[in-house]
Amino acid sequence: MKTVYDFSLTDAKGNEVSLSEYKGKVLLIVNTATGCGFTPQYNELEAMYRSMRADGFEIIDIPCNQFGNQAPGTDEEIAEFCRVNFATEFPQFKKSDVNGENELPLYTWLKSQKGFEGFDKENSLTPRLESMFDKADPDWRSKSDIKWNFTKFLIDRNGNVIARFEPTKEMSKVAALVKEALDTK
């Protein structure tokens, strides 16, 4: 059976990185964008990273420009934006596709492990997102595709996907589940 450790990514500097380098750690894999309404989540992501990194937590940041052209810069420009505006320290990888014919094999696997289960009903942006998707594709709810920027996958210490969070999920709830995964040995 495959785990996240069977995949490699290219980092923002063009180096191939095997995710097996993260064995034994809890990972949060997230597709990000610099010009999105959810971009302020970088603040909470960085706070989580700083507070839980010593416990074995890592964030895998994969910028993606597939949703509303909201990550238009180069890898270098995106990294600089994140450092300057959010003081990010977690690893950032090469801008990549998470859906479609050029999607990362990692994302093909992630989506096969945890499909779309709906947006968080308590988030004020949910009705707007649902309306937008209803107009574009009446069957969007039944597809496992990544719907928008800042979709997150939580990976346990054994490399298995244990949760998928849509961008509408309250970040404090994401942090609580990350903490729970870190406490599970």
- The set of catalytic residues is 36
Residue 97 backbone phi and psi in degrees, to 5: -85, 145
Q: Which of 177, 175, 155, 117 is nearest to 29 (CA)?
A: 155
Q: Which of 145, 104, 113, 107 is nearest to 16 (CA)?
A: 104
Residue 149 backbone phi and psi in degrees, to 5: -60, 150
